[in-house]
Structure 1
Amino acid sequence: MSAATTQPQVVTAARFYLSFTNLGTIAFSELQGISSKVAAQEYIYNDDKGNTIHTKQFGKTEPPVVTLRRGLDAAGNAKLMAWHAMARTGDPTARGDGTLTVMDTSGKESIVYSLHNAWCSELQVSGMKAGDSAVATIECKVTCESIAVSPPATA
């Protein structure tokens, strides 16, 4: 019988922090996802014996996108809107290197993602209705050239 192995601790997240030099640090309550895609491109050719060969090759890549959501407040809204406005006008300083830190329920860093050359590519404020008690939210999509996982500083 083999020795028992321990299962790695599964991440349970409680808070998410986005940190950039030109933005500061903003807390989010939801990480809706991180997506990245490499399309499959079919390549068909005939070999030297005349056989038709079908293969799949790497195709068009799409940059990583991080989607975050938080409650709408004046300070966070102003920072995110200003960052997005910089990207809309083509301001080169809208791009920057930063981190997305996933915190667990005890307040320790679980995972730190390093975002390279990232900018706020999309903002969406949830619909609101006068007299409704629902919390209004703002959703932020951050597009970056590359993303890497770093070990947490408090490991």
Structure 2
Amino acid sequence: MLELKVVVLADAANVREGLLSVIGGGLSVLRYPNYPVPLQADLALMFQISDVVEGETHAIKVECVRVDAQQRSVPDDPMFEVEARLVAGPSPEPAVRHRNAPLAVPLHNVGVPTPGEYRVSVSVDGAVLGSVSFEALLVPDAPNPFGPPEDEAFNRDAEAEQAQLDPES
């Protein structure tokens, strides 16, 4: 049996030596002055495997869709889809019935096209085992980390610095 025990959006996630490391887990709101923007997140997943036969294969699918106020999928193309196969290997300790299978899905460059609510669903062998939602808000006065600084003080300081470098202007 394969169960999904953890599904979380995070600033960063990675897998090392069978362990799932998560930094800044629990991302649920994006605030930007304009869209589209990159998601700038990883999806951290932890599956628990019980009573699985060595060599058994499972199809994993991660899909993100926009949802409406009633939590129904908006009939657009999915924002992204990722598919993978999980193949059960030999147990390093045969007496252990439950094993963890961590997975970190990098989503930093996935584009968030518009403000709205989105749901990331995780399916195994066609059955949805879990999901996490996030909301992309349009906040006109939010800082824009993906464009030039629009801070008046920054621009004024840059102009003063340029004048010092080029006194003839």
TM-score by length of 1: 0.30
Higher RCO structure, 1 or 2 (CA under 8 Å, sep 6+): 2
TM-score by length of 2: 0.28
